[in-house]
């Protein structure tokens, strides 16, 4: 059994080197992710009632009036009139309100707007229809009523960022957080594969 001292000197503690290396690196990275980007104005004071916050949406800073209970989805839809993300479920179980925050897919209806200050937020409105994921969706007719589609497009965008060479099997395993009632899944699978083949990750 290695000791903490040996570990500190780079000797393998657990049975594999990856354990030590990975954990250390990831620890630093995750600590950083939460650290910077917080607006200096935000002290850890207790906030109540209407407050103006600044949200970084699609590369622009927007001032929005919110209450502590305002969700990011409400702030986007009512504050910024960005209605691409949809209210479908009371929680995140439909994926319909998916946006990308800090590079990661989140259900904006289960995130408080206050939590998003200082974090870059990308909504479906930042995408154009003539390239990437939306284009592939149009080409494969991967929308019907279209109400779930923006959430799906954002989930696929985030998914492909992580898995740019996704296989069909990975796609079938990896995109189950979004719900479609009209049944566009059979069109979405080839649309995602098209983006992979096209080399673009949306």
187 lines the binding site for other proteins (CB under 8 A): yes
For residues 100-126, b (16+ Cβ closer than 10 Å) or e, as one string?
bbeeebbbbbebebbebbbbebbbbbb
202 lines the binding site for other proteins (CB under 8 A): no
**Of 121, 175, 195, 196, which lies in the binding site for other proteins, with binding defined by CB under 8 A?**
175
Rg (CA), the chain: 20
* Residue where the block lists tokens 């069109």: 187
193 lines the binding site for other proteins (CB under 8 A): no
The interface region with other proteins, picked from 55-63, 91-99, 194-202 by CB under 8 A, is 91-99
The interface region with other proteins, picked from 24-32, 54-62, 194-202 by CB under 8 A, is 24-32
H/E segment holding residue 57 = strand 51-57
> Which of positions 28-47 make contact with other proteins (CB under 8 A)?
30-31, 33-35, 38, 42, 44-47
157 lines the binding site for other proteins (CB under 8 A): no
Q: Provide, rounded to whole angstroms, the least separation between the CB of residue 80 and other proteins.
A: 10
H/E segment holding residue 185 = helix 185-197
Q: Provide, rounded to whole angstroms, the least separation between the CB of residue 71 and other proteins.
A: 7
134 lines the binding site for other proteins (CB under 8 A): yes
H/E segment holding residue 54 = strand 51-57
What whole-number distance in Å separates Cα of residue 168 and Cα of residue 190? 8
196 lines the binding site for other proteins (CB under 8 A): no
């Amino acid at each position: 059994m290695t000791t903490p001292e040996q570990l500190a000197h780079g000797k393998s503690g657990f049975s594999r080197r990856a354990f030590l290396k990975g954990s250390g690196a990831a620890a630093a990275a995750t600590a950083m992710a939460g650290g910077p980007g917080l607006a200096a104005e935000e002290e850890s004071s207790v906030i109540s009632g209407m407050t103006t916050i600044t949200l970084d949406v699609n590369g622009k800073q927007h001032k929005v009036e919110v209450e502590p209970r305002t969700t990011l989805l409400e702030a986007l839809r009512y504050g910024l009139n960005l209605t691409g993300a949809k209210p479908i479920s009371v929680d995140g179980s439909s994926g319909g309100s998916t946006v990308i925050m800090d590079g990661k897919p989140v259900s904006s209806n289960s995130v408080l707007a206050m939590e998003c200050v200082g974090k870059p937020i990308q909504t479906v409105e930042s995408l154009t229809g003539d390239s990437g994921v939306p284009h592939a969706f149009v080409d494969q007719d991967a929308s019907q009523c279209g109400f779930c589609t923006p959430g799906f497009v954002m989930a696929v965008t985030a998914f492909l960022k992580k898995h740019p060479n996704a296989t069909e099997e990975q796609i079938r395993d990896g995109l189950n957080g979004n719900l479609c009632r009209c049944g566009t899944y059979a069109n979405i699978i080839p649309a995602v594969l098209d983006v992979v083949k096209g080399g673009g990750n949306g």
